[in-house]
C-alpha cells in the first residue's frame, strides 16, 4: 500500500492546526488562572510562615545568595525564598521556603529555624503527594508516639544529620514523602548555618 504525499500533508496540516488550537486554549487558561494560583500560593506561604514562627512580628525578606542556594542544594532541597524572623525589633531566627522532591512530585514547605539554628516548625505550602498515603505526612498525622510527623522536627538541628530511620520517624507507607520533608529540613538547616 502506497501513501500519497498529499495525504501526508493533509494529516500533518490537520495535526498542526489541532496543536495550535490546543496551545492557544492552554495559554488562555493559564492567563486566566495564573493570578489566582499566585494569590493562593501567597496566602499559603503567609499561613505557613505564621505556623513556623507564631510569635513573629515581621518576616523580612532576605536576598538569596549563592552560598545559601548551594547549601540547600547540597542537602537535597531548592531554596526559593528566605525571611528573617523579627520579634521585638531583633532577629529571632529565619524561615525558608524550600522545595524538595517527594513521592509524586515536589513538596514546597516553609521551615522555621531559631537563632540557635534549631527547627521551630515545618509547614507544607503545596504538594502532590498521594491522597491517603503521602498526604498523611503533609497533614502532620500523628506517629505511633503521638507526635505529628512534621512536629517531630521541632528542636532538631545539624544540617545533614537528619535521616529517616535514624533520628526521624516515617509514616508507615509514606517513607518517600517523609524522606522528602526530611531533605527539606536538612536543606533549611544548612541555609541557616550559612547565616549564623
Residue 108 CB partners (closer than 8 Å, separation 6+) = 80, 97, 98, 99, 124, 125, 126, 127
| Within a domain: 9 | no
Q: What is the pLDDT of residue 173?
A: 87
- Is residue 68 in a domain? yes
Q: What is the predicted pLDDT for the residue at 1?
A: 62
- Residue 153 sits at the vertex; the CA angle it makes with 158 and 150, to the nearest 5 degrees, is 145
Residue 91, classed as helix, strand or coil, is strand
What is the spatial distance between Cα 192 and Cα 96, in angstroms, rounded to a whole number?
9
pLDDT in the model for residue 5: 76
For 186, the domain range is: 50-195
Counted domains in the chain: 1
Q: Is 24 a member of any domain?
A: no
Q: Tens-of-pLDDT digits for all 196 residues of the chain?
A: 677 778 888 888 999 999 999 999 998 888 888 888 888 888 888 888 999 998 999 999 999 999 999 999 999 999 999 999 999 989 999 999 999 999 888 999 999 999 999 999 999 998 888 888 888 998 999 999 999 999 999 999 999 899 999 999 998 888 999 999 999 999 999 999 999 7
Residue 157 lies in a domain: yes
What is the C-alpha separation between 19 and 41, in angstroms, rounded?
30
Q: 107 in a domain, yes or no?
A: yes
For the entire predicted model, the pTM comes to 0.81
**Quick check: is 127 in a domain?**
yes
- Say if 26 falls within a structural domain: no
Q: Which residues pair with 164 in a beta bridge?
A: 168
Could you tell me if residue 125 is inside a domain? yes
For position 123, what pLDDT does the model report? 95
Amino acid at each position: 500500500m502506497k501513501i500519497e504525499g498529499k495525504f501526508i500533508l493533509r494529516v500533518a496540516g490537520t495535526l498542526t492546526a489541532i496543536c495550535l488550537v490546543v496551545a492557544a486554549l492552554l495559554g488562555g487558561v493559564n492567563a486566566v488562572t495564573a493570578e489566582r494560583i499566585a494569590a493562593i500560593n501567597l496566602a499559603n506561604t503567609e499561613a505557613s510562615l505564621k505556623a513556623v514562627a507564631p510569635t513573629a512580628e515581621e518576616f523580612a525578606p532576605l536576598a538569596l545568595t549563592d552560598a545559601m542556594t548551594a547549601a540547600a542544594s547540597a542537602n537535597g532541597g531548592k531554596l526559593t525564598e528566605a525571611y528573617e524572623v523579627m520579634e521585638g525589633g531583633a532577629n529571632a531566627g529565619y524561615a525558608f521556603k524550600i522545595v524538595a522532591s517527594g513521592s509524586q512530585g515536589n513538596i514546597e514547605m516553609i521551615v522555621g529555624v531559631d537563632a540557635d539554628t534549631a527547627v521551630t516548625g515545618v509547614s507544607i505550602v503545596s504538594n502532590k503527594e498521594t491522597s491517603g498515603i503521602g498526604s498523611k505526612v503533609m497533614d502532620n498525622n500523628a506517629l505511633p508516639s503521638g507526635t505529628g510527623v512534621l512536629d517531630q522536627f521541632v528542636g532538631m538541628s545539624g544540617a545533614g544529620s537528619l535521616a529517616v530511620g535514624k533520628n526521624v520517624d516515617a509514616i508507615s507507607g509514606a517513607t518517600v514523602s517523609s524522606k522528602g520533608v526530611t531533605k527539606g529540613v536538612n536543606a533549611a538547616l544548612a541555609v541557616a548555618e550559612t547565616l549564623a
